[in-house]
Amino acid sequence: MSGHQTEGVVKKIIRKIGQECAARGHSLSEILVAFMVKAVVLDPRNNFNVDQILTKKDVQNLIQLCVTRLLDTTNPSLSTIKMQVYFDLNYANRAELLSEQRRVLEGRLASVVRDITNSNPRLQEEMENVYQKIVSYVLLSSGLGSPADIEVVREVTAALQSVFPKTEMISFISLSKKNKEQQLKNFAMLVTGIRLYNKECRKGGSGIDDLPAILNEAIPSATRTVDGILNTCHMLAHQYTALLESMQEDLGNYTQLSSFKLKEALFNVRQYEAFLCILLSDTITSAQEVEKMNVQFAATMEQLKNTVHNRVSIDTKEVFPLFVALSNLWTGFQDEILLLNFLTNITNNLQQFSEIQLRLLPEEVLTSLLEGVTVKSDEERIRETMGTRVNVSDFKNQEWLFPETTDNFDKLLIQYHGFCAHAIGVKGLILPGNPAIGILKHEERCYVFSSREAAYSFAQDPDKFIQLNIEKAKEHAELIHLLELQHQFEYLAPYVQASNADKCLMKPTTKCDCSTQTDTHILPPTIVTSYEWNEWELRRKAIKLANLRRKLTHAMQTNLSHMRRENSTQVYLPKDVSTQTKRDNSSNVPRPQVFLEGLRGGSSPTTRMVKVDLTRAVDET
C-alpha cells in the first residue's frame, strides 16, 4: 500500500477511537490517542505482534482496548500518559521559549516595519505620517505602556525627537531597507533607555511597571509553591515504595489493594516529581538571572546619572551606549516575567494529572495501610548504602566507574533516569540508585543500583536484566518516557500500516528519508557593505566626514597666477608609410660539364691526362 493510503488508514483508526470517546463525553487529542495505540500494541497481555499481520478483527479489538483505557478515569497510567503528552507539547526551555516570543513579536510588528521601510514620502504631510508610524513601532517594540494612552505616546514622541528629530527624515528615507530596519531597532532601544532614565529621575516613565520589584516578589513565591508540591510528591513516592515493598513480603495483609494499581500510582508520582524538578530548576535559574541583572541595571543607571549630571550638552558617544544597555537589561526583565508566567501555568496545569492519587488512595486510607510499615526517603536509602561498594576484582570483564577514578563523575549520563537498573525489571519498583556503590558501564551505557547485591546480580548478565526492564516498560507504557527508553522502541512505528484496506493490516516497512546539503558559500562573504556606486552619495558622505558646515573656505591669488588660465594644444601624430625601392629578378646560367681522361694511367710509364670542357656558352642557354 502506498504512503498516502497508509496515512489515510491510520487517521481513520485514530479518528474512529476519537469519535467513540467523544460519543461518551470525552474529547481527546489525536496525539494522546496515538500514544495510547502504541501503549496497547506494546502491552504483551494484549497479544499484539507488530511483526505479524493484523486482521480486521485485531484492529477492532485494538480500537476497543484503546477506548476502554482512554475512558478509565480510575487508571493512574492514563493520567501519567496524559501528563507526559501535555508536558511534551507545552514545555519549552528558556532558549526555545524566548526565541519563539521574539519571533511572535517580530511577526506582530512586521506590517508596521513594512509600511515604514517601503514608504517614499514626498510631501510634508506624508513625512509626518511616517514619523508617527515610527513612534508606534518604538512603543510597540518596547512594550512599555499602551498605545491608547496619550501620555505614553507623548512621552515616546518626545524621547524619539531627542535622538531622531523630524528634520532627519530625509536622510532616513534615503537609506536602504536593511539599514532602515536596523535604525528602527536602534531608535527603539534608545527611546526605551531614555524613558527608563526619566522614570528613575521621576521625570517620566508613564505606563512602565517596576519589573525588578515584581520579579523579586514573584520568583520566591513561585519557588516556594513548586518546592511545596515537590515535597508532597517525595513523601507520596516514599510511602508508595514502602507499601509496595511490604506487599511483596506479605501479600495477605493487603488483599483490598491492587499492587498493579499501586505501581501505576508510583509511576505517576515519580513522573510528576521529575517534571516538577525541571520546573524548579528553571525557576532557580530565572532567580539567578534576575539577581545578576538587578546588579547590572543599578550599576548602569548609576553610571548614566554620573555622566548626565547637570550637563547641558553631552556627547552621544557617551550616553547612547548606556541607554542601549538599559534597554537590553529591561528586555531581560521582560523575558523573565514571560518565563515565570510560563512556568507558573505549567505547574498549575500539571496538578490535574496528580489528582488521581487522592481518588485511588485517600489520605486516611493510606495512613491506615502504612501502620507498622517503615517509610524510608530516597536520601535515607542512599545513606544506608554509602559504606558498601562493588569489588572490581570480582568482575574481570566488566568496567566499573567510581568518583576517585573517573573525571566528571557527576556529569555521567545515567540510564533509567538515575533509578536502580535491577529493581525495575525484577521488583517493578523505582528505587533511587547510589553512584557511590559503583557505576557499571555496559555497551557504552552507565547503570546505577540501589544496593551492592543488586549491582552484583545485574552485572552477572546485564542483557538479561535490560530485557526485563524493556518488558516491564511494555506492560507500563508510561515507563518509556519516565525511564528515557525511547531508543529501545525505535523499531516500533508510530502507527500500523495497511496492506489491504479490505482485508488486513500489517507493520510498515522500515524506511528513512535522508538528504544532504552543500554550502553555497563556504568562505565568509567579502561584500563591502560601505560601498556606494552613486557619486552623489559619496559626495554626501565626504561632506559629512569633512563636516564642512562648521568650516570656512579661504582663497587667494598671486601675481604669477593672476590672469592665467590652462591651455591645451592638439597635434596630429605621424602615420605609418611604406615604399618599395627594388624588385626581385632571376636568370639561368649554364651548368659546368668538365671531363678528365687518362687519370687511371696506362701501359706507358707517363700518365697523360686530357681535359674536355663541354660546358655550353651563356648565350646558348
Residues 227 and 366 in one domain: yes
Cα distances (angstroms) measured from residue 200 to each of 8, 210, 350, 391: 62, 11, 40, 66
pLDDT at 497 over 60: no
Residues 35 and 135 in one domain: no
Whether residue 389 lies inside any domain: the answer is yes
pLDDT at 42 over 50: yes
Residues 248 and 340 in one domain: yes
Whether residue 550 lies inside any domain: the answer is no
Whether residue 102 lies inside any domain: the answer is no
- Record the cell numbers describing residue 47, joined without a space: 497479544
Tell me how far apart the terminal alpha carbons of the chain are, to the nearest angstrom.
106
Residues 352 and 434 in one domain: no
Domains held by the chain: number: 4
Whether residue 527 lies inside any domain: the answer is no
Whether residue 597 lies inside any domain: the answer is no
Look at residue 254 in the predicted model and tell me its pLDDT: 62
Look at residue 508 in the predicted model and tell me its pLDDT: 39
Residues 261 and 365 in one domain: yes
Average pLDDT rounded to a whole number, residues 45-73: 79
Residue ranges of alpha helices (H) inside 71-176 are 76-90, 94-118, 124-142, 150-163, 169-173
Cα distances (angstroms) measured from residue 262 to each of 56, 106, 232, 236, 422: 35, 49, 17, 11, 19
Residues 427 and 449 in one domain: yes
Per-residue pLDDT band at 91 (split at 50, 70, 90) = very high
> pLDDT tens for residues 328-363?
999 999 999 999 999 999 999 999 998 888 888 888
Q: In whole angstroms, what is the distance from residue 303 CA to residue 294 CA? A: 14
Supply the DSSP string of 222-251, one letter for each residue.
Answer: HHHHHHHHHHHHHHHHHHHHHHHHHHHH-G
| Mean pLDDT of all residues belonging to the chain | 84
Lowest model confidence (mean pLDDT) among 230-234, 288-292, 536-540: 536-540
pLDDT at 308 over 90: no
Whether residue 603 lies inside any domain: the answer is no
Residues 193 and 251 in one domain: no
Lowest model confidence (mean pLDDT) among 5-14, 295-304, 360-369, 603-612: 5-14
**Residue 43 in contact with residue 477, Cβ under 8 Å?**
yes
pTM score, whole prediction: 0.74
**Residue 439 in contact with residue 446, Cβ under 8 Å?**
yes
Share of the chain above pLDDT 70, in %: 88
What one-character DSSP code corresponds to residue 484?
A: T
Per-residue pLDDT band at 32 (split at 50, 70, 90) = confident
> pLDDT tens for residues 116-133?
998 888 888 889 999 999
> pLDDT tens for residues 197-251?
999 988 888 888 999 999 999 999 999 999 999 999 999 999 999 999 888 877 5
Residues 230 and 363 in one domain: yes
> Phi-psi category of 443—alpha, beta or left, where left has phi over 0 and alpha has psi -120 to 50?
left
pLDDT at 9 over 70: no
**Residue 607 in contact with residue 621, Cβ under 8 Å?**
no
Structural domain including 304 reads 223-370
Whether residue 608 lies inside any domain: the answer is no
Residues 139 and 185 in one domain: yes
Look at residue 349 in the predicted model and tell me its pLDDT: 94
Average pLDDT rounded to a whole number, residues 157-164: 92
The strand pairing partners of 54, in sequence order, are: 505
Residues 143 and 50 in one domain: no
Whether residue 170 lies inside any domain: the answer is yes
Crossing angle of helices 76-90 and 56-70, in 10° steps, is: 90
- Record the cell numbers describing residue 50, joined without a space: 507488530
Residues 312 and 442 in one domain: no
pLDDT at 509 over 60: no
**Residue 461 in contact with residue 413, Cβ under 8 Å?**
no
Average pLDDT rounded to a whole number, residues 168-174: 90
Highest mean pLDDT among 34-43, 143-152, 607-616: 143-152
pLDDT at 5 over 60: no
**Residue 188 in contact with residue 142, Cβ under 8 Å?**
yes
Per-residue pLDDT band at 619 (split at 50, 70, 90) = confident
Residues 227 and 325 in one domain: yes
